[in-house]
Amino acid sequence: MYKPLPIESIALNSPVPVHVWDPKGVLLLRKGDVIHSEQHRGMLMQHSPMVRESDWQTWMYSYTAELDRRVRMNAPLNHIAEVAPLGELNEPEARERDEDPVDFWNDRHSVLSLLLHQAETSQPVPPGPWLQRLASVAQPLVRWMERRPDDTLLLLVQMLFDRQLPYSASHALATAALGRLLAQPAGLSASEMYALTHAALTMNAGMARLQDELALQTAAPTEQQLAAIRAHPLASVAWLQGQGVHDPFWLALVEGHHQTAEGNGYPEGAWPQADTPLGKALRLLQMADQFVARISPRRSRPGFASADLARALYLGPDGQPDPLGALFVKVVGMYPPGSYVQLASGETAVVVRRGRRANAPTACAIAGKQGMALGEPALRDTLNPQYEVRASLNPTEVKVRVPMSKLLSR
């Protein structure tokens, strides 16, 4: 099995540590070969460079483990930039298996928040380490969404409800997770899925600090803030290009994530045909982006009911049933893991698993009819009429909080 290679992050004239292939198994570079120019890099990118999954895992883990170690030691930027692409090879899932999932994703959230905020700093940031640290977030996200999608959504959606966490990183992680969940059943290729995941993580890099401020702001955005909002797609693209991102699909998704088919989005530009890979990926990105933004409570408003949002997505921008909107409802459901619901039993519950039907997830009851906390979360199959979902609940309405470790163990 192959994985897309972010070849834009490989330094020129540095030996590649693994064989590089195209999606059909044609060898593009042998281990030890070098990328000798940007033109050479561009030619390779046209062939969607890939590496074998086993090679990718060992290679990327060696990068990120050493980068994290140096960053935690507050090493100077030039020392961070010296991190070599090879080191002792480690199983990439080893840390993930050994570490508590809550701690693991809190750590990834912190890494991503720092990366997004760096996009607005006036200090220069070395391109190589920035992309490598981004990979330390993107790659675990892909692995977890492949192996533990419901647990991952449970954790990331709950992060959206935590006002103590910077919203920009919470939003990016949840959007990337939903985009990844939808990408394969939508028929995107491996390279397109790679671009979609990375675009979701980085599309708001040009306004990350402002996004955090707006989540806590009660007043309407100022004229200056509105100008920054409208400028952020191009600002994000400029930052990514400065960091060495040359993937046209990734950059097009970032630039277009606020464009509309009607032409009233921003920045001004042509909307891709819906039946093209770019048009499909852009629609998936926008659906995930809008869903995450609207279920998230702000200081100025509560979050919207997930079921209402799912129904709205079922209808496309023209108000007609949309195949990708229908796919969203089928794959994600009306009540994603991490959201709160009221059951027919009168209990308050948090959704922990998507169900066989879009409106019938598995949930853990955390409070009884009177709102009193249960001693232990009680698993509820909402296919059972006694426990069917009666309504979405805004997280601000829910006073009982249960440690995520307890919910994961159930």
Domain-embedded: residue 25: yes
Among residues 31, 63, 89, which one ends one of the domains? 89
Pairing of strands 20-21, 340-343: unpaired
Looking at the chain, the whole-number percentage of residues with pLDDT higher than 70 is 86
Model confidence at 96: pLDDT above 70 = no
Among residues 59, 89, 119, which one ends one of the domains? 89
Q: Are residues 279 and 131 in the same domain?
A: yes
Q: Are residues 297 and 356 in the same domain?
A: no
SS3 20: strand
Give the pLDDT band (50/70/90) at residue 123. low
Domain-embedded: residue 294: yes
pLDDT of residue 13: 75
Pick 85 or 357 by higher pLDDT: 357
**Which residues form the domain of 224?**
101-301
Q: Which neighbouring-strand residues pair with 362?
A: 353, 381
Give the pLDDT band (50/70/90) at residue 93. low
Buried-exposed string 374-396: b where 16+ CB fall within 10 A, e elsewhere: beebbebebeeeebbbeebbbbe
pLDDT in tens, 9-58: 677 777 777 788 888 788 888 887 888 877 787 778 777 888 877 676 65
Domain-embedded: residue 325: no
- Under 8 Å between Cβ of 335 and 395: no
How far apart are the C-alpha atoms of 155 and 143, rounded to whole Å?
A: 15
How far apart are the C-alpha atoms of 377 and 359, rounded to whole Å?
A: 21
14-23, 301-310, 370-379, 392-401: which range is least confident on average?
14-23
Pick 344 or 3 by higher pLDDT: 344
Give the pLDDT band (50/70/90) at residue 148. very high
Q: Are residues 277 and 232 in the same domain?
A: yes
pLDDT of residue 91: 44
Among residues 301, 332, 364, which one ends one of the domains? 301
Q: How many domains does the chain have?
A: 3
Looking at the chain, the whole-number percentage of residues with pLDDT higher than 90 is 50
Q: Are residues 165 and 278 in the same domain?
A: yes
pLDDT of residue 82: 53
Model confidence at 400: pLDDT above 90 = no
- Name the H helices within 203-276: 208-215, 223-242, 248-256
Q: Are residues 346 and 400 in the same domain?
A: yes
How far apart are the C-alpha atoms of 211 and 205, rounded to whole Å?
A: 9
Domain-embedded: residue 131: yes
Q: Are residues 160 and 265 in the same domain?
A: yes
Pick 84 or 148 by higher pLDDT: 148
Model confidence at 296: pLDDT above 50 = yes
Q: Are residues 79 and 164 in the same domain?
A: no
| Residues making up the chain, counted from first to last | 410
Q: Are residues 62 and 106 in the same domain?
A: no
pLDDT in tens, 218-238: 999 999 999 999 999 999 999
Model confidence at 87: pLDDT above 50 = no
SS3 272: coil
120-124, 249-253, 274-278, 312-316: which range is least confident on average?
120-124
Q: Are residues 111 and 82 in the same domain?
A: no
CATH number at residue 295: 1.10.3210.10
pLDDT of residue 122: 59
pLDDT of residue 28: 87
Highest averaged pLDDT of the listed ranges 29-38, 63-72, 115-124, 212-221: 212-221
- Give every CB contact of residue 98 below 8 A, 6+ residues apart in sequence: none
